[in-house]
Amino acid sequence: MKLTTQKRLAAHVMRIGKSRVWMDPDFEDEISLAITRNDIRRLVDEGAIHKKPIRGVSRGRARHKLRQKRKGQRSGPGRKKGKATSKLSSKDRWMRKIRPMRKELRKLRDEGKITSRIYRELYLKAKGNAFRNTAHLRTYISERRLSK
């Protein structure tokens, strides 16, 4: 039985889309006889016709993706867009490199392992990007026998 007209009227009466109109199959004969908006309103009140719930967009996939990103996944070379410095700026890279070196130099000076003159010399070398990392700095000091 075609109930397209009734569905259209019901959608108008309930102020929803046609796809959200649900008609009870048990009341099919009664619904087919409804030809006015008042008939449809009566059927809505009886419960023969009612609204389907709104279907939203599921956040399940987004949540799963976020959990993976927190674990550090989904961040390989195929995900990266832009320059090499777009993930970590050159300034941040420099800060991560220089701060531990300066800390190491300070520690060596305070412990008395290097003189303040050598400290200043090495400090300026570190500032001039002479060392790759703290390990490189330590090998430089030991190779040149700069520590006491």
Cα angle 37, 40, 46 (rounded to 5 degrees) comes to 145
Average pLDDT, the chain: 95
Structure tokens at 40: 């449809």
For 35-98, strand residue ranges (E) read 49-51
Structure tokens at 98: 């220089």
- Cβ–Cβ under 8 Å, residues 23 and 57: no
**Is 76 contained in some domain?**
no
Q: Which of 73, 21, 9, 91 is nearest to 50 (CA)?
A: 21
**Is 42 contained in some domain?**
yes
Average pLDDT over residues 63-77: 95
pLDDT at 148: 80
Q: Tens digit of pLDDT for each residue in 2-18?
A: 999 999 999 999 999 99
**Is 99 contained in some domain?**
yes
Q: Tens digit of pLDDT for each residue in 103-143?
A: 999 999 999 999 999 999 999 999 999 999 999 999 999 99
Domain interval for residue 17? 4-51
pLDDT at 1: 80
The CATH number of the domain holding residue 38 is 1.10.1650.10
pLDDT at 84: 83
Tell me the three state secondary structure of residue 123.
helix
The CATH number of the domain holding residue 131 is 1.10.1200.60
Number of domains in the chain: 2
The residue behind tokens 């003159």 is 117
* CA atoms in the 13 A half-sphere facing the CB of 12: 11
Give the H/E segment covering residue 111.
none
**Is 21 contained in some domain?**
yes
